[in-house]
């Protein structure tokens, strides 16, 4: 009872509403779940594999091919849930809906506490309520049934723990246990979505170098170096040619540049306190470090090319990279100087003296943190290599292969500069939802000033430029409070993690990116928006009764959002509306009527069909939830033979789709058409080709 009394009323209300609305949805008609809630085919990859694992078949979607095409921690959550599928296929979906509701509520509470501890109560209520009840966030994060609810919770938990650590280390010594707990939280985030490894790595920099300026500069320098080198190559080659030919070599150059530039920046004074010397000193230190590192890295990379280790691209890209990285890294130091860092770190210390005084502590704490994070990742990769023949999920490898193909039938890699930097407002490369929705709305409002339906893109980026410029002005005018919030809310490691995560897709020719990849960016948008709102409202809070007025307004707006959310859920999760015998998918009766029990059917995609079909087996043909051996067979144009050897006798797919990359028509000689349904053909997969290609 004492524990219940300690729960703040607003937290209790948030949790009650979130769980209550989801509980209503969980008991609705069975037909709702595959058709209005868990509609993403990719989610059923998890569901079917989890069901098979729970039944002792191993990590496999089809019971034939072993697969690791998923994020591991969400699979661990799904396994006990989908053990219930042996009794009823809808029961685990009802349970999983409540699991996502609990994760939603937990994430909301952590956002509320994080913002309340560092900004204001009114802003905390708004930030938490918006996360809990935003229909856009709900649609992208919680409804698909993918790993995103767990990833969102893991990211916020890690940031919250970093925030607590920020207050503690300044007043008392840091213990081994504290570093280990932070590393454990980083590991949870990393395994919730493997692309959060960048946040986990940068979090270690933030912890280990906590009392030095390098903790602020190094994470952002890494983003600048990554963006500068890759965009320099793309500027010289064009984005299409970059994706198909040069992405891999550009990333190799990035790795080299990261090492050389950061090392020289450190030893030439680029990571000293920005107010330890004059502006000219900063310019000289950074200029010398970037110039020397660019010369060394360029020369070394050319040697690697001559040795056959690296791959070439236009040499002028190194010159462009020198200019871009010099300007941005120097600008970062000058902004930091303007924001006036405080404390003992402002004392002038030579890099060598600093290293001599701190290396033991850095090595010890870094060993603990990265030993846990890196050790866990290494064990995961080793297990994958032994069990699946490849150390990383095959789904990611396949999508990167797609990105190097021209005219692929699947989603292309970043096709333009807005997508390259993750600032597109359409499609999978809109990395900044729901902030991008606000910018779209503002773009519509300036239509009278900049008319024409053909100028929607221009209006969007005008709105973006105006909002970002205004935000920067507000942040700089409130530099002391901004700096405090950036530190106490761990926004710098979160920003750097987001930046590198975006580039890890857009700059590596990754095909098939999805809108739900950008969970950490959504969280950053909410927290940064909360900081901006807090700075805008702060002068007004000095007026009597204004703080109470803000809090009442925040509660009212939260109630309004909750009502909208509840109405939307109620409208789609109907009761007693659909006949109990209605097929969950219209294609299921067709397949069951036209194939024999026990048939093994190949499909592109096929996640939801594979989960719901009776007495048949669905084998995934695009490879995302198939084996590494199948991936190699697909690349070598031997996929038809591979499938036939494993008992696939029927294929349900579009022959036209299979004629494009990545399939290249390799299945066509083995097909004998049988029937058609919904734009797809039901075809026999022959043992021998009808003709030679």
pLDDT at 6 over 80: no
**239 falls in which pLDDT band (50, 70, 90)?**
very high
* Same domain membership, residue 434 and residue 449: yes
Dist CA 115 CA 134 (whole Å): 18
* Same domain membership, residue 291 and residue 148: no
Number of Cβ atoms within 10 Å of the Cβ of 73 = 20
pLDDT at 118 over 50: yes
Per residue, what are the HEC states of 361-402?
HHHHHHHHHHHHHHHHHHHHHHHHHHHHCCCCCHHHHHHHHH
Residue 326 lies in a domain: yes
pLDDT at 196 over 70: yes
Give mean pLDDT, residues 618-643. Answer: 95
* Same domain membership, residue 230 and residue 180: no
Residue 226 lies in a domain: yes
Dist CA 586 CA 543 (whole Å): 62
Give mean pLDDT, residues 396-414. Answer: 92
Exposure on the CB side of residue 520, measured as CA atoms within 13 A: 31
* Same domain membership, residue 151 and residue 126: yes
Residue 606 lies in a domain: yes
For residue range 11-23, list pLDDT tens digits in order.
Answer: 999 999 999 999 9
pLDDT at 3 over 70: no
* Same domain membership, residue 302 and residue 271: yes
Give mean pLDDT, residues 23-45. Answer: 96
- Give the domain-ending residue among 278, 311, 340: 340
- Can you give the pLDDT at residue 230? 96
**346 falls in which pLDDT band (50, 70, 90)?**
low
Retrieve residue 525's tokens.
């948008």
- CA angle, 508 as apex, 502 and 510 as ends, to 5°? 80
pLDDT at 1 over 50: no
* Same domain membership, residue 117 and residue 81: yes
DSSP at 627? -
- Can you give the pLDDT at residue 343? 41
* Same domain membership, residue 643 and residue 530: no
- Give the domain-ending residue among 537, 572, 607: 572
Residue 461, CA distances (Å) to 303, 399, 448, 468 in order: 42, 29, 16, 10
- Can you give the pLDDT at residue 340? 64
Return mean pLDDT, the chain: 93
Dist CA 8 CA 282 (whole Å): 48
pLDDT at 311 over 80: no
Dist CA 71 CA 494 (whole Å): 20
Residue 382 lies in a domain: no
pLDDT at 125 over 90: yes
* Same domain membership, residue 221 and residue 182: no
- Total number of domains in the chain: 3
pLDDT at 5 over 80: no
| Residue with tokens 């797919």, as numbered in its chain | 653
pLDDT at 103 over 60: yes
Dist CA 51 CA 320 (whole Å): 52
* Same domain membership, residue 596 and residue 457: no
pLDDT at 457 over 70: yes
Dist CA 272 CA 346 (whole Å): 8
Model pTM above 0.75:
yes
* Same domain membership, residue 404 and residue 545: yes
**511 falls in which pLDDT band (50, 70, 90)?**
very high
Residue 373 backbone zone (phi > 0: left; psi -120 to 50: alpha; other: beta): alpha
Residue 274 lies in a domain: yes
* Same domain membership, residue 520 and residue 485: yes
SS3 state at 573: coil
pLDDT at 485 over 80: yes
For residue range 512-552, list pLDDT tens digits in order.
Answer: 899 999 999 999 999 999 999 999 998 887 777 888 899 99
Of 151, 166, 152, nearest to 118 by C-alpha is 166
- Give the domain-ending residue among 572, 606, 640: 572
Label residues 633-654 b or e (16+ Cβ within 10 Å = b): bbeeeebbbbbbebebbbbbbe
* Same domain membership, residue 557 and residue 468: yes
Give mean pLDDT, residues 638-645. Answer: 94
pLDDT at 213 over 60: yes
Q: Which domain holds residue 145?
A: 2-30+68-207+393-572
pLDDT at 345 over 80: no
Dist CA 514 CA 499 (whole Å): 16
Residue 346 lies in a domain: no
For residue range 317-337, list pLDDT tens digits in order.
Answer: 999 999 999 999 999 999 988
Instruction: Please provide the DSSP assignment of 289-321 as one string.
Output: HHHHHHHHHHHHHHHHHHTTSS----THHHHHH
Residue 35 lies in a domain: no
Residue 46 lies in a domain: no
How many helices and strands (H and E) does the chain possess? 29, 5
């Amino acid at each position: 009872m004492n524990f219940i009394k300690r729960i703040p009323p607003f937290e209790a209300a948030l949790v009650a509403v979130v769980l209550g609305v989801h509980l209503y949805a969980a008991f609705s008609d069975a037909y709702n779940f595959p058709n209005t809630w868990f509609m993403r085919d990719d989610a059923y990859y998890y569901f079917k594999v989890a069901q098979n694992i729970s039944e002792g078949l191993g990590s496999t979607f089809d019971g034939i091919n072993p697969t690791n095409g998923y994020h591991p921690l969400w699979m661990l959550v799904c396994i006990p849930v989908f053990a219930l599928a042996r009794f009823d296929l809808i029961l685990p979906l009802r349970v999983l809906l409540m699991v996502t509701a609990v994760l939603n509520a937990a994430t909301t509470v952590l956002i509320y506490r994080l913002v309340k501890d560092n900004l204001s109560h009114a802003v905390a209520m708004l930030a938490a309520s918006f996360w809990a009840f935003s229909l856009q966030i709900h649609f992208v994060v919680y409804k698909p049934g993918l790993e995103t609810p767990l990833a969102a919770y893991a990211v916020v938990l890690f940031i919250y723990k970093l925030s607590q650590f920020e207050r503690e280390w300044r007043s008392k010594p840091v213990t081994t246990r504290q570093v280990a707990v932070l590393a454990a939280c980083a590991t949870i985030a990393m395994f919730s979505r493997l692309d959060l490894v960048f946040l986990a790595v940068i979090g270690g920099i933030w912890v280990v170098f906590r009392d030095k300026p390098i903790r602020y500069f190094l994470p952002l320098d890494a983003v600048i170096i990554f963006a500068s080198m890759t965009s320099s190559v793309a500027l010289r080659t064009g984005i299409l040619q970059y994706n198909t030919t040069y992405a891999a070599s550009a990333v190799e150059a990035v790795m080299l540049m990261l090492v050389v530039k950061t090392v020289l920046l450190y030893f030439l004074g680029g990571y000293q306190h920005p107010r330890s010397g004059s502006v000219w000193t900063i310019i000289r230190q950074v200029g010398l470090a970037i110039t020397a590192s660019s010369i060394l890295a360029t020369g070394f990379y050319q040697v690697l090319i001559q040795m056959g280790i690296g791959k070439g691209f236009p040499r002028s890209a190194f010159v462009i990279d020198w200019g871009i990285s010099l300007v941005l890294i120097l600008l970062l130091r000058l902004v930091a100087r303007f924001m006036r860092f405080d404390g003992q770190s402002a004392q002038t210390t030579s890099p060598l003296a600093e290293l001599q005084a701190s290396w033991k502590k850095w090595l010890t704490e870094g060993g603990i943190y990265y030993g846990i994070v890196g050790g866990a990742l290494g064990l995961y990769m080793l297990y994958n290599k032994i069990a699946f023949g490849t150390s990383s999920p095959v789904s990611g490898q396949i999508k990167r292969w797609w990105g190097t193909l021209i005219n692929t039938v699947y989603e292309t890699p970043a096709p333009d500069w807005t997508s390259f930097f993750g600032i597109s407002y359409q499609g999978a490369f809109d990395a900044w939802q729901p902030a991008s929705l606000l910018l779209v709305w503002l773009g519509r409002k300036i239509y009278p000033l900049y008319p024409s339906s053909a100028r929607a893109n221009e209006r969007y980026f005008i709105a973006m430029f105006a909002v970002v410029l205004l935000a920067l002005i507000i942040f700089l005018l409130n530099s002391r409070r901004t700096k405090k919030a950036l530190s106490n809310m761990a926004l710098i490691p979160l920003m750097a993690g987001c930046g590198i995560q975006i580039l890890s897709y857009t700059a590596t020719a990754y095909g098939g990116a999805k809108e739900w990849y950008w969970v950490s960016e959504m969280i950053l948008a909410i927290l940064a928006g909360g900081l901006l709102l807090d700075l805008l409202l702060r002068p007004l809070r000095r007026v009597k009764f204004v703080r109470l007025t803000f809090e009442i307004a925040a509660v009212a707006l939260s109630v309004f959002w909750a009502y909208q959310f509840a109405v939307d859920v109620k409208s789609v999760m109907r009761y007693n509306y659909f006949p109990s015998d209605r097929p969950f998918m219209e294609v299921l009766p067709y397949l069951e009527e036209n194939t024999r029990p026990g048939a093994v059917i190949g499909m592109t995609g096929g996640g939801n069909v594979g989960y719901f079909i009776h007495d048949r087996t669905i084998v995934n043909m695009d490879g995302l939830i198939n084996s590494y051996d199948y991936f190699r067979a697909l690349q070598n144009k031997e996929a038809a033979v591979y499938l036939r050897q494993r008992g696939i006798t029927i294929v349900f797919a579009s022959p036209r789709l299979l004629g494009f990359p990545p399939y290249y028509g390799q299945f066509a000689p083995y097909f004998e058409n049988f029937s058609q349904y919904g734009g797809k053909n039901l075809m026999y997969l022959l043992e021998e080709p009808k003709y030679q290609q």
